[in-house]
Amino acid sequence: CHLIHYLRLGHHLIVLNYLIYTFDMLKSASSEDINITDAIFDGVKVRVFEPPAKGDERLKRSVVFIHGGGWALASARTSLYNNLCGIMAESLNAVIVSVEYRLVPEVCFPEQFHDALRATKHFLQPDVLAEYSVDPSRIAISGDSAGGNLAAAVCQQLSKEENLTVRPKLQALIYPVLQAFDFNTPSYQQNMNMAILPRSVMINYWIDYFSGNYDLVHSLLINNHTALDVGQALSFRRHLNWTSLLPSSFKKNYKPVIQTTGKAEIIQEIPALLDVRAVPLLAENETLQLQPKTYILTCENDVLRDDGVMYAKRLENAGVEVTLDHFDDCFHGCLIFTVWPTDFSAGIQTRKSYIKWLDENL
């Protein structure tokens, strides 16, 4: 894929998505008992999963789900997410709205955020909820990886909007990517060469999301963009001090990588690196205090582990009730790997725990 991109025969992400969809045709669909329909919510494609009505039941709970894939890959329509959302709908007896936001390279930040926000706000309208027989007081926003990023950003934005009549009861974030400030947290250092999501690949996803220059990869990798002499970053440093936000079991013997002098022009070229709509972990405490009850799932073998753990701690410090569900033997992306031939025990284990929390709290 990268050779094709280098030769300018096409964007490597487009080629990779084509391969994903081709392989996906071999996989099975979700339960036949769930009614699956495609709709448009304020110009954004969504896929809605509805379980059959049960007896005299009037209203169902609901989850707005935002899929992962580095803001560039996969789809609400691929079998892995189709399967997950179908099982959620069946297990929770809930209406699941899976958001089909536009991808890189078709669009870049902030369009993915805008798509997720528009679709969610449309669904939260009382008349739309009534159409799907959804209880307005029992709605969660959730997502995995880059979808967890979008779910957290959408939740933060919704908490600031005064005119909303319906607000989410919960947010559930699955190994979310939440910051591009420090690429040398202990989990980034520990898992820099881990399969599925090595550090260099995550940095490339960020650059693609921001339509940046790949020449910046090395500078980002050593935190030149947030050096002590980069004035734009100084006010955010207190929000991402992992030496105080992480427990000792996660910090281990790793040391912070803080450059004295760096390259302020990186932030000037890509200001979104410090935009809370892209990096929710940098939000002010006043915003965090407004967040709903939260579930965050993290995996030990994941560069993003500390993003989730730090967000959990910051939310907790802001007075939000948080469940941090950490798995020592699991890896990034495992939750969707439950369908043959990638039906891993890690996927079954994490999915079961995630759905159990939703069932008990939604």
Q: Mean pLDDT across the stretch 344-350?
A: 88
Tokens standing for 114? 């805008």
AA identity, residue 84? L
Q: What is the pLDDT of residue 328?
A: 95
Handedness of CA 22, 299, 339, 148 (dihedral sign): negative
pLDDT digits (tens, 9 = 90+) for 93-102: 999 999 999 9
For the chain, the residue count is: 362
Annotated catalytic residue within 67, 114, 225, 332: 332
Tokens standing for 353? 């725990």
337 band by pLDDT with thresholds 50, 70 and 90: confident
Residue 239, number of CB atoms within 10 A of its CB? 19
Q: What is the pLDDT of residue 10?
A: 41
Q: Mean pLDDT across the stretch 351-359?
A: 97
Angstrom distance (rounded) from CA 29 to CA 8: 35
Q: What is the pLDDT of residue 196?
A: 85
Angstrom distance (rounded) from CA 320 to CA 170: 11
Q: Mean pLDDT across the stretch 159-188?
A: 97
Beta carbons of 280 and 310 less than 8 angstroms apart: no
For 2-6, 165-169, 191-195, which range has the lowest pLDDT when averaged over its residues?
2-6
AA identity, residue 12? H
Annotated catalytic residue within 75, 142, 145, 159: 145
- For the question of residue 145 being annotated catalytic, the response is yes
- For the question of residue 302 being annotated catalytic, the response is yes
CATH number for region 1-180+272-360: 3.40.50.1820
Q: Which of 185, 159, 352 is nearest to 252 (CA)?
A: 185
- Mean pLDDT over the full length of the chain: 91
Annotated catalytic residue within 302, 306, 307, 325: 302
Q: Which of 220, 139, 205, 142 is nearest to 176 (CA)?
A: 142
pLDDT digits (tens, 9 = 90+) for 105-164: 999 999 999 999 999 999 999 999 999 999 999 999 999 999 999 999 999 999 999 999
Residue ranges per structural domain of the chain = 1-180+272-360
- For the question of residue 79 being annotated catalytic, the response is no
pLDDT digits (tens, 9 = 90+) for 261-305: 999 999 999 999 999 999 999 999 999 999 999 999 999 999 999
Q: What is the pLDDT of residue 26?
A: 42
Which residues are CB-neighbours of 3 under 8 A, at least 6 positions away?
none
Tokens standing for 360? 């008990």
Q: What is the pLDDT of residue 4?
A: 40
Q: Does the pLDDT of residue 55 top 80, yes or no?
A: no
Three-state SS sequence of 90-153 = HHHCEEEEEEECCCCCCCCCCHHHHHHHHHHHHHCCHHHHHHCCEEEEEEEEEEECHHHHHHHH
Q: What percent of the chain has pLDDT over 70?
A: 90
